[in-house]
Chains A and B, each alone.
Chain A
Amino acid sequence: MKSKKIFALTMACMMGIGAFAGCAKKKDSITNFKMFACMPGKEINDGNRIQEEIAKLTGVRVKETWLTGQTATEAVGSIVASGDLPDFIDGGDGSDALYEAGVLVAWDDYLAKPEYANLKEMYSDKEWEMFRKADGKIYWANVFQNTYGESKATGHNDEAFWIQVRVLEWAGYPKIETLDEYFDLLERYYNENKENADGTKIIPYTALCDDWRYFCIENAPEFLDGYPNDGSVIVNLTDYDKPTIVDYNTTPTAKRYFAKLNEVYNKGLMDPNFAIQTYDEYMAKLSTGAVLGMCDQWWDFAFTVNDQFKASGFDELGYNYIPLGLTIDKGMVNHWHTYGDTLNAASGCAVTTSCKDPDKAFTFLNRLLDQDMLNLRFWGQEGTDYLVDENGLFYRTQEMRDNWADATYQANNVCAYSYMPQYGGTSRDGKNAMTPAEQTSEFFATLATPLVKCFEAYGYTTYGDFLGSPVEEMGFWFPMYSYSNNMSTNTKGGVAWIKMGECKHEYLPKVVMASDFESAWADYMEAYAACKPEDFLAEMQTELDRRVEMGKSA
């Protein structure tokens, strides 16, 4: 018995020492911060090579966690309620709740000091004004769509009707401009191709309806009428000084769009399970290369699906997607792609009051904007992740590119701190792009052969070119969704907004699947009117007027 006790005691001691040793090991001179971003994302592994390199240079290591299975407002609500705040947070749609709860540190004092010049440089004084909240202070900075120097954008990070590049190749790279032409092409291709090479049955078109991602079926009418992504409404500019709110759910275009989907569904061209698939099932479906086309946001599918295509060699079969800027009738101007930086002041990177050393946190954010840091975050380490040619242009070998497209490699070696201050556009060296994806040579080198052939056939150099939207800056109010996303059931408009959402969730799939479209549409319109959309539209108009006034005074 005694020896057993001694043994147990020894074990306990050893575990204790082990635990302490574990602590001591972590207690290097590095400060560990936590960050929560209200977006789904991939967590990186501890000991990530670039994370450690940044830690060595800045003395700060940030553990990032991401949204899982909740909406941003739900997550923020529970974080604030629990009081367990990370040091950094991007509240997304829940940002206003963070401000209201008074848990954020104001940026003003830091922006005024020369030590934080990098942060100040992110936006012009006028732009910073837009971040100012009702109490006169600035609490966050949106880190996206911020171009340094000349724009080098190559992607289309937004919504579009997507089509697999093999379909375009099959048809001899035609110009597809309208919804009718799009479905006509899908139908013609499907009539001759029912299965993929591996035997997977082809699904010509699908539309995701899962939870908040039902925008995939829901908001196309605003784009088809040529308007940009205000999200929840159309802003009519007939009178430029007094723009008005228009409901895109009830326009003739909306009816024509859903009638088209109904026709396509009854022809058997649409995924029979479109209405009931979950997001995961949708992603799995896309990853098999079975789906020829769908309407979606690039960020909602491309990162996962493209990596899958690359891993399984499907990219060389032409399964990758090309965006099309469709309109309801021929010859209309579209705004699927918006040029210039869209400043969404409704959310951004913030430091919370739970952060023990806010000075250090802001110093770190400021430091991240130095060019060496930006290079580390987006290009990696010279020699290992990229090389420099005699002209000072960064490039990668094929092995480096493959590594950076590999999920496991990314988790161990890539650390972009993607929700912290950053730039797109041109590097401070004046030659390179800030990110490899925007470096023209790298962009083309990472494209699969069918994509390169397609780009060449049309004579385009960026994804944005495919949309054919005019190059113009958006109005001061853009985008209106930054307001509707934050509506509360405290107001009549907010109640109408949630009811409209529920109504559309239920009726849009019904309308598409109906055997008698006209009567289904009439039922839908009746149920929709019962949600009192006018309450919602009135509140949106008030907000639009406010923004227009603000734009005039600023």
Chain B
Amino acid sequence: MSLMNPSAPALKEKTTKAEIKRQSVLLIIAALYVVYGIIFYYLPLVGWLMAFQTYTLKGGIFGSEWVGLKWFKFLFTDDTFVRIIRNTLAMGVINLVATTVTAIGFAILLSEVKNIWGKKLVQTISYLPHFLSWIVVTSIVHEAFSTEGMINELLVNLHILKTPISFFSHTQYFWPIVAISNVWKETGWNAIIYLATITSIDPSLYEAAAMDGAGRWQKIKHITFPGLRSTIIILLIMNIGNVINAGFEVQYLLGNGLLQSVSQTIDIYVLKYGVGKMNYSLGTAAGVFKTFVSMTLIFLFNFIAKKTGDERLF
């Protein structure tokens, strides 16, 4: 199952002209990807220079004044930015945990459904929200959680609440609401890959377990979970870098003045303080910082995975 097998002997083949010729098509295809990567991923990095300047539209990258680390200093002495890092990481982690757990749970439940039609139907319906844009989802969420919305109506009718709660007036509800929105939108979609993994588990394992008298729960615990383990870890490593991409649209569209101390993320900060106030350098500095956090997290998690002897990316 390992992506990289360290125990395999390193085979060093000599690169011959004939070899190059034989693989020429592959090389050309690979070269195209390399060129694509350079143009679209590496060349734009030149723009990072803006973070060390006071960038003006007129001067451009080569004509603007160099100011060293001024904007990074500004960021880390700014209370707002420090709070925004907290919001971003908190929402990123909550979202990651919530969407992963629900997706796995949902995939397992779905795999236990024996009726093929029911299974297909539920699966199709569950991943449809993935295709809705956030602007649509947030209007639904905003409506559902409003004082006259269905959530309040439900809670009041069930006598859990006496009077409706104004969910968007209190900071403590915001992160859970964002997590719920993410779960509602992405659970079905995220479950697909886990479901595929479960399908690929050798059915004879289940048959053998049944022969030994294992019940459903024991089969899930001892066969399905271990079967999913490597997929979960690879996906976690890949997603951990995204923790800092906690979102932009959801928070931007669901937030309001009362909630801004918990709703603003780094992306919103870049838009408001950078692009919106024509301070592109500040925006770039915040973006550069974000990238570094992302990379650090990926390396860190990969390292931990390696140490504990699990799957890893590189």
Residues of A within 8 A of B (CB): 71, 73-74, 77-78, 80, 94, 97, 100-102, 209-210, 214, 272-273, 275-276, 278, 280-281, 487-490, 494, 498-499, 502, 504-506, 508-510, 513
Q: Are B279 and A490 closer than 8 Å at their CB atoms? A: yes
Contact A210 B58 (CB under 8 A): no
Known: A272-B147, A502-B80. A71 touches B168 (CB 8 A): no
B278→A510 contact, CB < 8 A? no
Name 12 A/B residue pairs within 8 A (Cβ), A-sorted: A74-B276, A97-B57, A214-B257, A278-B142, A490-B54, A490-B277, A498-B277, A502-B260, A504-B257, A505-B260, A506-B257, A506-B261
B56 / chain A contacts, CB cutoff of 8 Å:
100
CB distance from A512 to the nearest CB of B (A): 11
Residues of B within 8 A of A505 (CB): 256-257, 260
A100 and B54 alpha carbons, distance in the complex (Å): 14
- Chain A hits for B272, CB < 8 A: 498
| A102 touching B58, Cβ below 8 Å | yes
> Which of B168, B257, B272, B275 has the largest count of A CB atoms less than 10 A from its CB?
B257
- Taking a contact as CB atoms under 8 Å apart, the answer to whether A275 and B256 are in contact is yes
Q: Would you list the 9 A-B pairs with minimal beta carbon distance, nearest first?
A: A505-B257, A101-B57, A276-B168, A489-B279, A489-B277, A77-B275, A100-B57, A488-B278, A488-B277
Chain A residues whose CB sits within 8 angstroms of the CB of B273 once the complex forms = 489, 498
* Contact of A275 with B257 at beta-carbon distance under 8 Å, contacts A80-B57, A101-B57 already known: yes
Question: What B residues does A73 contact at CB under 8 A?
Answer: 275-278
A92 to chain B, nearest CB (A): 13
Docked complex: B247-273 residues within 8 A CB-CB of A: 256-258, 260-261, 271-273
Contact indicator B276/A71 (Cβ below 8 Å): yes
B169 within 8 A of A: yes
* Shortest Cβ distance from residue B293 to the other chain A in the assembled complex, whole angstroms: 22
Let me know if B166 is at the binding interface, CB within 8 A: yes
Question: Does B279 contact A275, Cβ atoms closer than 8 Å?
Answer: no
Chain B interface size band reads 20 to 34
Q: Which of B80, B139, B279 lies in contact with A488, CB distance below 8 A?
A: B279
Q: Are A494 and B277 in contact (CB under 8 A)?
A: yes
> What's the minimum C-beta distance from A83 to chain B, rounded to whole angstroms?
11
- Min CB gap A219→B, angstroms: 15
* CB-defined contacts of A489 to chain B, threshold 8 Å: 273-274, 277, 279, 282
With a CB–CB cut-off of 8 A, which chain B residues contact A275? Answer: 169, 256-258
Chain A: minimal CB distance from B211 (Å) = 53
In this complex, what residue of A is CB-closest to B273?
A489
Bound Cα distance A174, B255 (Å): 40
List 18 extra interface pairs beyond A276-B146, A487-B277, A498-B272, CB under 8 A: A73-B275, A74-B271, A74-B275, A80-B57, A97-B57, A101-B57, A209-B257, A214-B257, A275-B169, A275-B258, A276-B256, A281-B142, A490-B278, A490-B279, A499-B80, A502-B260, A504-B257, A505-B260
Considering only CB atoms, which chain A residue lies closest to B138 in the complex? A278
Residues in A neighbouring B257, C-beta threshold 8 A: 209, 214, 275, 504-506, 508-509
Asked if A272 contacts B166 (CB within 8 A), the reply is yes
What residues make up the interface of B, taking CB atoms closer than 8 Å to A?
54, 56-58, 80, 139, 142, 146-147, 166, 168-169, 256-258, 260-261, 271-280, 282
For A78, what are the chain B residues with a Cβ–Cβ distance below 8 Å?
275
In the complex the two chains form, is A273's CB within 8 Å of B146's CB?
yes
Cα(A278)–Cα(B58), bound, Å = 37
Bound Cα distance from A487 to B272, whole angstroms: 12
Output the residue of A77, A210, A272 with the most chain B CB within 10 A: A77
Q: How far is the CB of A497 from chain B (nearest CB, A)?
A: 9
B58 touches A100 (CB 8 A): yes
Question: Which residue on chain A has the smallest CB distance to residue B271?
Answer: A74
CA A331 to CA B57, docked complex, whole Å: 50
Docked CA distance A193–B278 (Å): 49
Least CB distance, B48 to chain A, in whole angstroms: 15
Question: Whole-angstrom distance from the CB of B276 to the nearest CB of chain A?
Answer: 5
Whole-angstrom distance between the alpha carbons of A146 and B169 in the complex? Answer: 43
Residues of A within 8 A of B58 (CB): 100-102
- Look across to chain B and name the residue whose beta carbon is closest to the beta carbon of A76: B278
How far does the Cβ of B192 sit from chain A's closest Cβ, in whole Å? 31
Q: With A209-B257, A506-B257 known to touch, is A276 a contact of B166 (CB < 8 Å)?
A: yes
Report B-chain residues with C-beta under 8 Å of the C-beta of A513.
169
Residues of B within 8 A of A508 (CB): 257
Known contacts A100-B56, A101-B57, A502-B80; decide if A510 and B276 are in contact (CB<8 Å). no
C-alpha gap A499/B260 in the complex (Å):
12
Enumerate chain B residues within 8 angstroms of A488, measured Cβ to Cβ. Answer: 277-279
Complex alpha-carbon distance, A281 and B142, angstroms: 10
Known: A74-B271, A498-B277. A509 touches B57 (CB 8 A): no
Q: Which residues of A contact B146 (CB under 8 A)?
A: 273, 276
Chain B's closest residue to A487 (CB) is B277
Q: What residues of chain B lie closer than 8 Å to A506, measured between beta carbons?
A: 257-258, 260-261
- A273 and B275 within 8 A (CB): no
Task: Note all chain B residues with C-beta closer than 8 A to A502.
Answer: 80, 260
Closest to A276 in B: B168
B134 smallest CB distance to A (angstroms): 12
Contacts of B261 in A (CB 8 A): 506
Q: How far is B49's CA from A244's CA once the two chains are assembled, in angstroms?
A: 41
- Please, which residues of chain B bring their CB within 8 A of the CB of A504? 257
**Cβ of A494: which chain B residues have Cβ within 8 Å of it?**
277, 279
Cβ-closest chain B residue relative to A278:
B142
Name the residue of chain B whose CB is nearest to the CB of A103: B57
Centre residue among B260, B274, B279 by max chain A CB count within 10 A: B279
Q: Could you say which residues of chain B place their CB within 8 Å of the CB of A276?
A: 146, 166, 168-169, 256, 258
| Chain B proximity of A288: nearest CB distance (Å) | 13
Chain A residues within an 8 Å CB radius of B271 = 74
With both beta carbons as reference points, the residue of chain B lying nearest to A212 in the complex is identified as B276
Cβ–Cβ < 8 Å partners of B166 in chain A:
272-273, 276
- Determine the distance from Cα of A100 to Cα of B260 in the docked complex, in whole angstroms: 32
Chain B residues whose CB sits within 8 angstroms of the CB of A77 once the complex forms? 275-276, 278, 280
The answer to whether A510 touches B258 (Cβ under 8 A) is yes
